[in-house]
Amino acid sequence: MNTCVQTLVSPPPSLRAVPSDGPARRLPGDLAIWFFILAELLAFGAFFIAYAFARANNVELFNEQQLALDRNAGAINTILLLTSSYFVVRAVQAAEASQGRRAAMWIAGGIACGAGFIVVKLFEYAAKFEAGVSLSSSTFHMFYLVLTFFHFMHVILGLVILAALWNNARRGRYGPGSMNGIETGAAYWHMVDLVWLILFPLVYVMR
Amino acid sequence: MQTHQSSAHALSHSDHGTPLRATVIWAVLIAATIVTWSVGESGTTGPAIVGLLFSIAFGKGALIILDYMALRRAPLMWPLLALGWMTLVCALIGIAYWKGLAA
């Protein structure tokens, strides 16, 4: 009788609904990180839309001052973030295949690319500050600095997370049965990449 | 041997795709970035160009969301929320661009 009741409340795996095309759908990593990611996406989205409508009210100023931005630096940074994301995906795949040391190597590659992003951005900021750009120099510059610096801080936090993942991976703490940590950190890093994919064409290219 | 078997098992049910798929997606993302950069360098403007730029951004974002973030096999709510965010942001940027043209 007890077994019958238990079966009704929580059916055995063989009776649980699964998609006909394969295993059950699963959210990778910790549920909390996905709510955090949604909150971050909403914050970045609000900034992007505010920029777009501020530009609509002052197209000439935005177009003129955007010309002075370093599009090469922006493109190099896009490539660095995409490559870093790719390395992190390979790290997750390696951990899933019980290759902890290889996962650590891929994460180290991801950290190197993320550090490259920071270096390029610092050079870009240095050139802008030398040219007299500041938060108060124009509406465009205010948006440019706030948007890119907000993202910059997320890259730094992402690098701290990647460093923790690297440390755990090289100690063999990830594997097919213990993917939660690496999937959680990877999801955050991909979010940092995702928002840059909008930021680059919006601030550096659209005119 | 046991490790090898568990690896094969893990990969056969992977939510994270295969290394080959990840590499092909990376190549597509880089190629798309070069197109966006070339548009910026060429100095061309207009609604069609902006439409192209944000179509590319949407496509890149969808690849990151579905494949790199591994939401393709997540409960449907999650990929829909992320893709919905991309759609909303790109659409509002497009509307703002039109507003700027009319001003």
| pLDDT band of A172, cuts 50, 70, 90 | very high
A132-146, A187-201, B10-24: lowest mean pLDDT where?
Answer: B10-24
pLDDT in tens, B82-91: 999 999 999 9
C-alpha triplet A95, B21, B79: angle, nearest 5°: 80
Q: How far apart are CA A7 and CA A56, in angstroms?
A: 60
Tell me what the pLDDT averaged over chain B comes to.
88
CA nearest A182: which of A107, A72, A84?
Answer: A107
Which of B3, B65, B75 faces A25 most closely, judged by CB atoms?
A: B75
In degrees and rounded to multiples of 5, residue A178 shows phi and psi of -140, 70
User: In a 10 Å sphere around its CB, with 0-12 CB exposed, 13-18 middle and 19+ buried, how is residue A136 labelled?
Assistant: exposed
Residue with tokens 């990151």: B64
Interface predicted TM-score (ipTM) of this complex, two decimals: 0.87
Higher per-residue confidence, A132 vs A24: A132
The pLDDT value recorded for residue A22 is 63
Query: Do B89 and A198 make contact, defined as CB atoms within 8 angstroms?
Result: yes
Q: How far apart are CA A11 and CA A29, in angstroms?
A: 24
Residues 74-103 of B with CB under 8 A from A: 74-76, 78, 81-82, 85-86, 88-90, 92-93, 96-97, 99-101, 103
Looking at the 3D structure of chain B, how many domains does it have?
1
pLDDT in tens, A41-97: 999 999 999 999 999 999 999 999 999 999 999 999 999 999 999 999 999 999 999
Average pLDDT score over residue span B45-67: 97
Average pLDDT score over residue span B28-47: 95
Nearest CA in chain B to A21: B73
The answer, yes or no, to whether residue B11 has pLDDT greater than 90, is no
User: A175: which strand partners?
Assistant: A178
The CATH number for A64-207, chosen from 2.30.30.40, 1.10.1740.10, 1.20.120.80, 1.10.10.60, is 1.20.120.80
Domain with B91 in it = 2-102
Task: For residue A37, give Cα distances in angstroms to A157, A182, B86.
Answer: 13, 15, 13
Residue B68 in contact with residue B41, Cβ under 8 Å? Answer: no
The pLDDT value recorded for residue B15 is 79
Six-digit token pair at A155?
Answer: 């890259």
Domain layout of chain A by residue ranges? 64-207
**Long-range pairs of A103-109 with CB within 8 A, sequence gap ≥ 24:** A103/A169, A103/A174, A103/A182, A104/A166, A104/A169, A104/A170, A107/A162, A107/A165, A107/A166, A107/A169, A108/A166, A109/A84
The pLDDT value recorded for residue B26 is 98
